[in-house]
Chains A and B, each alone.
Chain A
Amino acid sequence: MTFEPVLLARVGRERSQSIDTYVSDGGYEALRKVLGGGWAPEAVTEEVKKSGLRGRGGAGFPTGVKWGFVPKDTKGQPVYLLCNADESEPGTFKDRLLMEEDPHQMIEGQIISAYALKCRTSYVYIRGEFFHGARVIQRAVDEAYEKGFLGENILGSGFSHDITVHRGAGAYICGEETGLIESLEGKRGQPRIKPPFPAVFGVFGAPTIVNNVETLCCVTHVMKRGAEWFAKIGRNEKNTGPKLYCLSGHVNRPGVYEAPMGLQMKELLFGEDYGRGMKDGRKVKAVIPGGASAAMLTPEEIEDCPLDFDGLAAKKSMLGSAAIIVMNEDTCIVDAARNLAKFFSHESCGQCTPCREGTPWLHRVLDRIESGDGRAEDIDLLEKISNQMANGMTICVFADAAIAPVLSSIGKFRDEYRHHVERKACLVGPRAAVGATA
């Protein structure tokens, strides 16, 4: 492998979390360069645009373009930057690693981004379950204050910045950026109607940019090594930079892997440097490429499947949070869909009727099919419910996410659903031969 890890370069290093080792490894050089090298804030935004960096949280929106949406004249209002560390998409665990192992990489990117946005105060919104991650980040923030990388007049540049670590309390929907904003304001994390977009009217009514942990880490390297260097990594000019892939499920070696954006799916699953193939030599049945919200892919579809925004969009799925969940041939697809439906049913914020009513309905129907009580018309019913929930029927895209596993599994594995309904049993897996399923 010729690719040198960028984002994970320091993971596994002794005391990788401390500011001393970070600085001795070249940390905060990018910040020194930006604040001391005559970089105007707008020039930093331009550099990030040039790098082609697209948001790593799920949507893949170009980061520099997003920054550009903050009005030039904020009419005296402050600009806020929020680091989205609410990593909750099932199958995703890269941000946890980044924060627990190399917190300063993220903090440096956050300070640089704040400078580009002329932002005085930023927040790290970290999911409540990351007790350890929050402690690591808080300690790193304290160290950054001690060393003068945060606070008043950073490195004598005249730029001042403060970071507050804010813990969530258990709610998937707070990863949606307006849900996160509502939550930070001390409310239920129910997403807002857009427009207005956060860049114009965000937290506390002020212009706000929300960026994912990995995105901010990338900013550090864009400014350290230049947009051109960053843009050269990756499959093409629209899918640039290093990327973290979260591999889980029935593979020999699950984990977080870094590769140039656009790594081939089969390389990730079977490559010696990555997943090293299927556990117990089983065959692949289905792969979820971008977290619970992404449409499942079949073994045929993972042939020539670059793991990037456009490669997966071309397969009518998405890169999302780059959570690749692998299911082997013994996996009952109906059971997997039921499990995913349980998640969405539990996590719906309850604000919009199609989602609040639809997600538990999907779960109930899938549950009865899986349990052997399914009716012939249930498969059509699932599709009908799904189509009534999404495509603009709700305030946010949660409902679209909730139906993706249902519709894609029915579309690609309809035989298994039929078998369930007709024979009252799974087609494969431990409950296939028993007759009635448990």
Chain B
Amino acid sequence: MTSRRYSVASAGRPAEFPPAARDRIEKILARYPTKQAALLPILWVAQETWGWISKEAAEEVARILDLPPAHVSGVLTFYTMYNLEPVGRHLLQFCTSISCHLAGAERLLDHCRGRLGIDLGETTPDGKFTVVEVECIAGCDRAPSMMVNDAYHEPMDAAKLDSLLGSLP
């Protein structure tokens, strides 16, 4: 269970999906017997479109699916992978569950925080990196494991992390 909430800064104009995203949404809807079942996939489309899901985007999804906005908000805050505020270009996700923990995941995370000068959940001022802690990502045999956006980087250590951070645009 997460306890993330929308930031006030997200208040703004209603969101509208671009045409390509609207086509994808139509295709997704055709695959499910109920509109509601398309909620998670369409929230993914929203996140891929804007990089995060604003209150306005969530309301637009609710409108498309004939769902109460409160339902969409409840779903959004239940799952950990929907970004409820903007994140950096590179979302650094460090696993600290048991096998990665045994392999020193927290030391790696501390190293990263020290190097970037930000705390968990924060984004560097240049908008490049956001650092988060995640639970087991099924990389236990290559611990400590981490993901940058949608890609695994494992096993990771301080030196490899430094060179990875230096190489990312």
Interface residues in A, total, Cβ within 8 A? 56
CB distance from A351 to the nearest CB of B (A): 9
Is A84 in contact with chain B by the CB < 8 A criterion? no
Our pick among A255, A348, A356 for the contact of B141 (Cβ within 8 Å) is A255
- The answer to whether B138 and A325 touch across the interface, beta carbons within 8 angstroms, is no
- The answer to whether A168 and B37 touch across the interface, beta carbons within 8 angstroms, is no
Which residues in chain A, 119-160, are within 8 Å of chain B measured between CB atoms? 127-132
Given known A90-B140, A188-B78, A288-B98, contact A167–B44 (CB-CB < 8 A): yes
Closest to A164 in B: B31
Interface residues in B, total, Cβ within 8 A? 43
Is B82 in contact with chain A by the CB < 8 A criterion? yes
Closest to B101 in A: A339
Given known A90-B98, A168-B79, A171-B80, contact A186–B37 (CB-CB < 8 A): yes
Residues of A within 8 A of B40 (CB): 166-169, 183, 186
Given known A128-B79, A325-B99, A343-B98, contact A185–B34 (CB-CB < 8 A): yes
Is B12 in contact with chain A by the CB < 8 A criterion? no
Closest to A253 in B: B141
Is A52 in contact with chain B by the CB < 8 A criterion? no
- Interface 9-mer from A229-237, A242-250, A301-309, A406-414: A242-250
CB distance from A324 to the nearest CB of B (A): 10
Q: How far is the CA of A289 from the CA of B142 in the complex (A)?
A: 18
Is B150 in contact with chain A by the CB < 8 A criterion? yes
Q: How far is the CA of A90 from the CA of B71 in the complex (A)?
A: 29
- The answer to whether A91 and B140 touch across the interface, beta carbons within 8 angstroms, is yes
Q: How far is the CA of A170 from the CA of B142 in the complex (A)?
A: 20
- The answer to whether A90 and B97 touch across the interface, beta carbons within 8 angstroms, is yes
Residue with the highest number of chain B CB atoms closer than 10 Å, among A247, A325, A339: A339
Is A88 in contact with chain B by the CB < 8 A criterion? yes
Q: How far is the CA of A346 from the CA of B1 in the complex (A)?
A: 6
Closest to A183 in B: B40
Given known A172-B135, A185-B37, A186-B75, contact A90–B99 (CB-CB < 8 A): yes
- The answer to whether A256 and B141 touch across the interface, beta carbons within 8 angstroms, is yes
Render B49-85 as a binary contact track against A, CB cut-off 8 A, 1 for contact.
0000000000000000101000100110011111000
Q: How far is the CA of A171 from the CA of B67 in the complex (A)?
A: 22
- The answer to whether B81 and A128 touch across the interface, beta carbons within 8 angstroms, is yes
Given known A90-B97, A166-B40, A184-B37, contact A129–B137 (CB-CB < 8 A): yes
Which residues in chain A, 304-359, are within 8 Å of chain B measured between CB atoms? 323, 325, 327, 331, 336, 339-340, 342-343, 346-350, 356
Render A73-113 as a binary contact track against B, CB cut-off 8 A, 1 for contact.
00000000000000111111101100000000000000000
- The answer to whether A336 and B98 touch across the interface, beta carbons within 8 angstroms, is yes
Residues of B within 8 A of A194 (CB): none
Our pick among B34, B74, B80, B138 for the contact of A87 (Cβ within 8 Å) is B138
Closest to A80 in B: B33
Which residues in chain B, 130-152, are within 8 Å of chain A measured between CB atoms? 134-143, 147, 150-152
- The answer to whether A171 and B79 touch across the interface, beta carbons within 8 angstroms, is yes
- The answer to whether A292 and B98 touch across the interface, beta carbons within 8 angstroms, is yes
Residues of A within 8 A of B71 (CB): 187
Residues of A within 8 A of B87 (CB): none
Q: How far is the CA of A188 from the CA of B65 in the complex (A)?
A: 16
Our pick among B37, B78, B141, B150 for the contact of A254 (Cβ within 8 Å) is B141
Closest to B32 in A: A164
Render B18-46 as a binary contact track against A, CB cut-off 8 A, 1 for contact.
00000000000001111011111101100
Q: How far is the CA of A278 from the CA of B80 in the complex (A)?
A: 35
Residues of B within 8 A of A249 (CB): 99, 102
- The answer to whether B74 and A188 touch across the interface, beta carbons within 8 angstroms, is yes
Q: How far is the CA of A59 from the CA of B81 in the complex (A)?
A: 27
Is A207 in contact with chain B by the CB < 8 A criterion? no
Render B94-117 as a binary contact track against A, CB cut-off 8 A, 1 for contact.
001111011000000000000000
Closest to B137 in A: A129
Given known A169-B44, A169-B81, contact A91–B1 (CB-CB < 8 A): no
* Residues of B near any A CB (own CB < 8 A): 1, 31-34, 36-41, 43-44, 65, 67, 71, 74-75, 78-82, 96-99, 101-102, 134-143, 147, 150-152
> Could you list some 28 contacts between A and B, CB below 8 A?
A87-B138, A88-B136, A90-B97, A91-B99, A91-B140, A92-B140, A95-B138, A128-B81, A129-B81, A129-B138, A166-B41, A168-B40, A168-B79, A170-B79, A170-B82, A172-B135, A185-B34, A186-B67, A187-B36, A188-B75, A204-B34, A248-B141, A254-B99, A254-B141, A288-B98, A336-B98, A339-B96, A350-B1
* Residues of A near any B CB (own CB < 8 A): 87-93, 95-96, 127-132, 164, 166-172, 183-189, 204, 246-250, 254-256, 288, 292, 323, 325, 327, 331, 336, 339-340, 342-343, 346-350, 356
User: Lowest 6 CB-CB distances: which A-B pairs, in order?
Assistant: A186-B39, A170-B80, A131-B150, A169-B79, A170-B81, A186-B36
